[in-house]
Amino acid sequence: MLRSFGTLSWLGYPLIVYLILRQWNLGRATSLLLGWPVTINIALLLIFASSLTAKQTPVAERFARRFGHQDLSPAEKRYCRSVTWAWILFFACNSLVIVSIALRGSLALWAVYTGIISYLAVGAMAAVEFLLRKYKFRRYGNVFCDRLIARLFPPFDH
């Protein structure tokens, strides 16, 4: 299991990965540019993974508390832990896609993927997770978005 690490460490690991990726593409003038999205994805992967240690709150739980309710049930906490694992998998897969395109694809494809598609994928994953959480637990606040979703998925009767 990953230990919680400080700022220098979580910046250091992506830097090492970036330098390795840089070595793969030494002949290309654009290799510095091509490595940054992978570095960012790996940094995010490490941040999410490090939050799964016993002494920290998973990142997805922090977001759920920030944009929802402070008092999460044990089931909601387990769900958030699973969501954090899903984000780790997402960032790993996104990194592999970007590396594959950087090594074998065209610069235009890399630009479209890293500049548009990967951001849309992040947004879609966040939106789907938010809706799934609302559907599964039916806990709503008084903000417009929650009131709208509550019409789609009425609260459970307690």
Over range 113-142, report the average pLDDT: 92
Average pLDDT over the chain reads: 82
Q: What distance in Å separates the CA atoms of residue 128 and residue 38, rounded to the nearest whole number?
A: 23
Structure confidence by residue, pLDDT tens digits, 47-105: 899 888 877 789 899 888 887 778 888 999 999 999 999 999 999 999 999 988 988 87
Q: pTM for this one? A: 0.78
